Amino acid sequence: MLERMAFRGDNLRIARNYSGLTLHQVGERVNTKRQFIQQLEAGKKQPSAEMAAGIAAALGFRPGFFFRDLRHKVNSEDCHFRRLKSLLQYHEDWISAYSTLFVHVLEFLDERLGLPQFTVPRIQVSNDSDIENAAETCREAWGLPRNAPIKSMTRVMEAAGVPIASFSGVSDKLDALSWSKGRPFIVRSVDKKSGSRSRLDLAHECGHLVMHQEAEPGQEIVENQAFRFGGALLLPREAFIREFPKSGWLDWSQLLAMKARWGVSLQAIIKRAHVIGLIDAARYHWAWVDLSCRGWRQSEPEEIQIEPTELLPRAFEALRENLHITPQQVSLHLDLEPQVLEKITGVPVPKMSLAI
């Protein structure tokens, strides 16, 4: 059957970038030249069925994946994330591949179950006051207390129709990214093992979804606005001003108590205090020096756990209970090997079962 269908070079590129292999490495694994793999990706040549199967095995994908029509392919240039100079093209290629596969899974779940409706407000901002108001508007829209901590930022985003995927082992320079061209989603790193930083990453990406649907990703002003929004969402201005220590010197024991209550890092608290004018430049500089001396820039004390995702595990449970579709059957239907589906969704996928 696959022999009668067109081999899609873009899908090969997605699988290769996801696997982190170069054209040369793929060629070596299937005993062919780099140029041939490049021609396959460009759509200039079609492989034999045996070659397609060999490439699939080399990349950890099912052969059928290369013949699928993927409706939405994510380009890293359309994703919001900090484009650091140390981030390599390899990382951007991986972002595109991983995100495309995540969308591939989400489309299946949406068709079978209907994922939560997207309810993130779209708000235009032009100044700091607008950003603070936008964060308040989101709290109101989602029925969150105006001046109380958000218990789970992950649960809030997923309830608002924003699926979240987690990754590790790619780059310590990449914290999180978001996409809003189709069904919006967030992908986050869990490498730093910091629940407070992860919460701020989600709030930051939420800011992009709220304010920057038309903005060009990567601009400094866009990233700064998203940072301010994240701080305002997790640390509402009125409550923060009321609770922030009034003493002349920063008391770390009091700030650690704030960290425990609000679920944000000490660094985020210090930045928030400076942004809204509770500490001047001198105290702000001293705080960062002291954080560095204590070794808290890299690893803060009394860290909280990273919030687990709930939407995808519940979706797979609903597939099994209501539609009698197992994770193995999903992997077969999507032409993804079980280990690929498991890595993308975080849902255990035992090997092999019957097709849908």
> What CATH number does residue 37 fall under?
1.10.260.40
pLDDT tens digits, residue range 24-77?
999 999 999 999 999 999 999 999 999 999 999 999 999 999 999 998 999 988
User: At what angle are helices 89-112 and 338-345 packed, to 10 degrees?
Assistant: 90
Residue 356, pLDDT > 60, answer: no
Query: Which among 226, 205, 89 is positioned nearest to 154, based on CA atoms?
Result: 205
In a domain, 24, yes or no: yes
Averaged pLDDT, 134-159: 97
Cβ burial 85-101 (10 Å sphere, 16+ → b, else e): eebeeebbbbbbbbbbb
What mean pLDDT is reported for the chain?
A: 93
In a domain, 34, yes or no: yes
Q: CA-CA distances (angstroms) from residue 295 to 177, 290, 292, 298?
A: 27, 9, 5, 6
Domain, as residue range, for 6: 1-69
Beta strands in the chain, from DSSP E residues, in sequence order: 164-167, 176-179, 185-189
pLDDT tens digits, residue range 297-317?
989 999 999 999 999 999 999
In a domain, 21, yes or no: yes
pLDDT tens digits, residue range 65-116?
999 999 899 998 899 987 665 678 888 899 999 999 999 999 999 999 999 9
Structure tokens at 69: 């029509």
In a domain, 210, yes or no: no
* Contacts for 148 with CB less than 8 Å, ≥ 6 apart: 239
The alpha-helical segments, DSSP class H, found in 1-47 are 9-19, 23-29, 34-41
Three-state DSSP class for residue 30: coil
In a domain, 181, yes or no: no
> Considering its fold, how many domains does the chain have in total?
1
